[in-house]
Amino acid sequence: MKTPIADFCKQYAERDVARLHMPGHKGQGSLGVEALDLTEVKGADSLYEAEGIIAESEANAAKLFGTRATFYSAGGSSESIKAMCLLAVRQYNKDHFGKCTILAGRNAHKSFLQACQLIGFDVRWLPSEEDAYQLCRCTITPEGLEQRLSLLREEQVPLAGVFVTSPDYLGNLLDIAGLSEVAHAYGVPLLVDNAHGAYLKFLPEDKHPITLGADVSVDSAHKTLPVLTGGGYLHVGTNAPEGFEDTAREAMCYFGSTSPSYLILQSLDLGNAWLAEKGREALVAASERVSALKGALVKEGLSLIGEEPLKVTIDCVASGLDSGTAFSDRLRDFDVECEYVDRDVVVLMFSPFNREEDYEKLSIAVHMLMQVERVRAASGETLKAPEKPFLSALLPTVITKPYDILARPVETVPVEESLGRIAADLSMGCPPAILPVVPGEKIDSGVVEVLKYYGHKEITVLK
């Protein structure tokens, strides 16, 4: 597959050009990549007005992912999520006028809430259908979505779309095919935050949201593919309403830098070639290696959760460990660095570019640590896991809309002193987490206990 962006930048770097343009390093510096770091010189195209090499590269990505159109982001999924929401609101306003609503899973990334604040749409939340509270999980079934959409139709809520996160940070996958079918039956597009699942397209069983019927999907290429940090995609699927792609570049431009990194764009371009030539085979091999690792970890006594093939999520509570935080600290003593950790879980992410030594290092560390746990258990010493607070299925009371508090004065207070205050904090929204409270909601006693359980000492509230 051709790599037009990377080829152009390489050829430009090899020419003896007087760089009387940005960036200020002029192609020189100690990083070693400065020669390839360009701006929108003649022939380099422009990300938000692409009609040359960037458009050609994006068309290559669209073929790989089977989309109607794919657009690059140099600002990760955060930029693309905001743009996706704007597209849904614009589509609604083609036939209607006034404020509209997006129905969203409660584990939305904080960029979704930022989109709500900046664009000004309303949000109705889909709480998890499971009784057990998990910070990063929000179980949504097609049946549950159908019930909620039926209620919203009775209330005559002006709905612009349904927003879900799959995979979530723990590696749990939703039934995107079923959710798509329900959303379409109610005449609304399904928007999927697939930040962690770009690689799902290239496994033997294709579970990419676009393949499964989502209208629009946001992927962070850099999370699981050989792409520099910040590289992402906004995919418009074949099911998307007509014209979604027509203003996608403009929508992206509202939330991205007017000086996007050409190093990131080159890595996305080269990522196409890797996916076309080596990616499928490499991803299958990595998935098989991770599957074998999961089996070995279970034999060591660890309890794992999540279905995502390249993610290992250790349920530390079910494994009898004192906490995810403590276990990750012990892994760090063996030079194993985790992707994410909270009181309940440890998340480890793999890709085809992990070395065999990485797997061996983790296996040795777990074996040593679990031996210590077995000795402790044999001695009669038991660990009493802290009781997880109960969070009511009833979400906190909404006092004002998130967009109404964006420009209002705020202050940060100790969590213990926040009871009854109006939240103005987005800190629980990244990584994707079931937000105990979002901006504009009243902080109740259940929220306070959840925040304390997960180690939050302060929270931002309205003055």
Residue-wise pLDDT tens digits, 106-159: 999 999 999 999 999 999 999 899 876 777 889 999 999 999 999 999 999 999
pLDDT of residue 450: 87
The CATH number of whichever domain residue 441 belongs to comes to 3.90.105.10
Q: How many domains does the chain have?
A: 3
Global pTM reads: 0.95
Which residues have C-beta within 8 Å of that of residue 19, sequence separation ≥ 6? 26, 27
Tell me which residue range forms the domain holding 188.
60-253
Q: Which tokens belong to 65?
A: 């992912």
As a whole number of angstroms, the distance between CA 21 and CA 458 comes to: 45
Q: Is 199 inside any structural domain? A: yes
Average pLDDT score over residue span 414-421 = 96
Is residue 347 within 8 A of residue 340, CB to CB? The reply is yes
Q: Is 262 inside any structural domain? A: no
Q: What is the phi/psi pair of residue 443, to 5°?
A: -80, 120
As a whole number of angstroms, the distance between CA 368 and CA 51 comes to: 56
Q: What is the phi/psi pair of residue 73, to 5°?
A: -125, 135
Q: Is 43 inside any structural domain? A: no
Q: Is 46 inside any structural domain? A: no
Residue 291 above 80 pLDDT?
yes
- For the ranges 98-112, 179-193, 228-242, 369-383, which has the lowest average pLDDT? 369-383
Q: Please check whether residues 83 and 169 belong to one and the same domain.
A: yes
Average pLDDT score over residue span 80-95 = 94
Average pLDDT score over residue span 34-44 = 96
Q: Please check whether residues 364 and 437 belong to one and the same domain.
A: no
Q: Please check whether residues 168 and 223 belong to one and the same domain.
A: yes
Q: Please check whether residues 451 and 352 belong to one and the same domain.
A: no
Q: Is 409 inside any structural domain? A: yes
Which residues have C-beta within 8 Å of that of residue 102, sequence separation ≥ 6? 85, 88, 89, 116, 121, 122, 123, 124, 159, 160, 161, 162, 163, 191
pLDDT of residue 277: 97
Q: What single letter denotes the amino acid at residue 29?
A: G
As a whole number of angstroms, the distance between CA 55 and CA 5 comes to: 10
Percent share of the chain, pLDDT over 70: 95
State the DSSP string of 167-180: S-TT-----HHHHH
Confidence of residue 393 (pLDDT cuts 50, 70, 90): low
Is residue 338 within 8 A of residue 347, CB to CB? The reply is yes
Residue 88 above 80 pLDDT?
yes
Please list the residues that pair with 412 across neighbouring strands. Answer: 460
Q: Please check whether residues 118 and 246 belong to one and the same domain.
A: yes
Strands 311-315 and 340-341: unpaired
